[in-house]
Every structure is written in C-alpha cells, then in structure tokens.
Amino acid sequence: MGCDGGTIPKRHELVKGPKKVEKVDKDAELVAQWNYCTLSQEILRRPIVACELGRLYNKDAVIEFLLDKSAEKALGKAASHIRSIKNVTELRLSDNPAWEGDKGNTKGDKHDDLQRARFICPVVGLEMNGRHRFCFLRCCGCVFSERALKEIKAEVCHTCGAAFQEDDIIVLNGTKEDVELLKKRMEERRLRAKLEKRTKKPKTAECVSKAGVADDSAGPSKVKAGKPEEADPDHREKKNNLTSRDTATNGKAGKAPCGALKRSIANSDESETYKSIFTSHSSAKRSKEESAHWVTHTSYCF
C-alpha cells in the first residue's frame, strides 16, 4: 500500500487542497495581442487592419472570413461584429528602425527581446509593444500613441493632415471598459447609418415626382413661347383657307400631286439605249420560245 522502506509522506501529498488559479503571463499576453492576428492567430503581416473595437487582423484573414460561408464560421467570435470589409480600417504604421526581426538570428541562439516592437509612434517615438496605449484614426488609418494626442492637441492628423473628431479615435487592444465604450459607439454609428439610408429613399422618390410635375407644366409654356403669328386668330383663318383650297384642287384633278410625276418610259422621247435599261422595254421581255420549260427550269438557265 505504499510507504515502504521507511518513507514518511507529507501532508500536501495526502490531502488535496483547492487548485490554484493559473495566472496568465502578461508578457505572453501582450505579445499575442500586438504581434499576432486575432482571427487566424498568425503573425501580423502587411496589410494590417483594425476593427471598430480596436483589434488587429491580417487583411487576408478578414477577407477569407467574410467569403467563408461554412458552419465553422460561427466559431469566429473574435470577428463576429465584422459584416463587411467596410467595418475595418487599413492601418498606416511607422516602422521601427531599431527592430531587426529574424535577420541576425540565423543560428537560432539569439535572445528575442520582447520589449522591441516592429512599429513606433511617428510623433513621440514610443514602441508599439503593449506597454503604452496606442490608438488609430478611423477616418485615415494613421496610428499614434495616446501620449502624442494628449501632448499635441489638434483637430488634424499629425501625419496626413486629415480632419478628425473625437468619435474617430479608437484605442488599440484596450481594456474591457474601452471595448464596451467602443461597442456602444459602433452600434450608434450603424444605427445612424441605417436611419440615413431610410431617409434618403423617400427623398429620391420626391425628386422623381417633382421632375414629372415640372415636365407636365413645361408643356403649355412651350406653346406660349411660340411665334406671335401662330397665336394670332387672323393668321389661323388664313392658314385654314389655304389648306381648303389645296384639297379642292387635288379633288378636281382626281390624283395626288405626287402621282403627276409618274410617267411611262416607253412613251417618253428618250433614246432607245436609255429605254433598254428598264424592264418595261421590249428587249427585256422574252418570247415563249426563249423561256424554259417548267420541268427543266433552274436558276442556271438564265
């Protein structure tokens, strides 16, 4: 049953107490948040995008997630709020000149400094390693440290000069409180966009109806804008008298004026060579002897 050979067990070996809560290593958590894609768990590679909640993704992973229509897509809770590519913003990141990456680690014996980061703040120079709070502007995608925005207060982006508002500032990898605040802003923004779409539809219908009414009202105005002679009643009576005279002359003649131009070529005074061009000439007509029998009639006989 154990305890042979004079072994003396200790109390912690016999009595099992409550399990200790496993603590997450802060350094490992920061590395996972700032160096790996939230959706695919792969290393972040350009182009890098961020959602409205401040999480980092590879753009390729987001596109694959949106195109995927399988049942496994429901497992991607980290990107469930992303419904289209418009819900993410491509980030403009500034490279860190002191970061070497895997260039000098050819043998695999080099120490990886977790404090080094690939990107820095272009204004203050702080490294984007999770030790300092960073944010990006939703209007242009430029990334800055929160310290830079506080020290240099401006309503224009420090890099590209685009105007922004406080609602456009989104904290990257923020705390739970920051995520809840960003979530409320996101829902309000989407609700506002829906209301704007609904209000635009009746406006377009009103514009179409107004255009139709304008066309109808333009009809009589064009008649009024005509020549003053047409509006004169004397001019109209003269016109009617002329038309009645034309109809009377045409009725007496018994033929339309255009019919008077038709005449027979055979009775004309033209030369015989000119008359032979037409099918009504005697040379164009064939006798019964020249015409082929109906049995032997083919198109090659002519």
Q: What is the pLDDT of residues 250-266, one digit of tens each?
A: 444 444 444 444 566 66
pLDDT at 47: 92
Q: In whole angstroms, what is the distance from residue 169 CA to residue 178 CA?
A: 12
Mean pLDDT for the chain overall: 76
Q: Are 126 and 150 in contact (CB under 8 A)?
A: no
Question: Which comes out higher in pLDDT, residue 146 or 293?
Answer: 146
Q: What is the pLDDT of residues 135-172, one digit of tens each?
A: 999 999 999 999 998 888 888 898 888 899 888 999 99
Residue 263: count of CB within 10 angstroms of its CB: 8
Q: In whole angstroms, what is the distance from residue 141 CA to residue 93 CA?
A: 9
What tokens were used for 85? 């590519």
**Taking the chain, what is the end-to-end CA distance rounded to the nearest angstrom?**
125
Q: Are 7 and 21 in contact (CB under 8 A)?
A: no
Q: In whole angstroms, what is the distance from residue 46 CA to residue 95 CA?
A: 11
pTM of the model: 0.58
